[in-house]
Amino acid sequence: MNTNMNPDILWEQITARQGDTFYTKKGLPFTYHIKGGELFASRRERSITKSTFEKAFHKIRENPEEVSGPKKLNVYGAPYVWAILLAILGKEENEEDLQ
């Protein structure tokens, strides 16, 4: 994953992709929309905040080998956060099993 990105640029890219279809690690499709600093996924009633994405991004940046899936993020809405970060940050060829 490209972890050299600035968190503000990351949020801009997340905002730009609202309405796109993403898939959780278990293959469940979802879309989302952004309202201020909150992301509302189609499969959740509660929002996921920008700071949640920043926290997850920092965990991945600090120890990419250890964060191998959504459970390792240990944040609210982890399956959705993981799917979105994976799509936006990209994946390396050796990360095929992370999808």
Which residue type sits at 26? Answer: K
What pLDDT is stored for residue 48 in this prediction? Answer: 97
Q: Contact at 8 Å (CB) between 34 and 62?
A: no
What pLDDT is stored for residue 49 in this prediction? Answer: 97
**pTM attached to this predicted model:** 0.85
What pLDDT is stored for residue 2 in this prediction? Answer: 66
What's the Cα-to-Cα distance from 10 to each of 45, 55, 64, rounded to whole Å? 23, 12, 17
**Contacts for 5 with CB less than 8 Å, ≥ 6 apart:** 13, 57, 89
What pLDDT is stored for residue 96 in this prediction? Answer: 40
What is the C-alpha to C-alpha distance for residues 25 and 6, in angstroms, rounded to an integer?
25
The whole-number mean pLDDT for each consecutive block of 10 residues of the chain, a chain of 99 residues, reads 80 96 96 96 93 95 90 95 93 41
What is the C-alpha to C-alpha distance for residues 93 and 72, in angstroms, rounded to an integer?
20
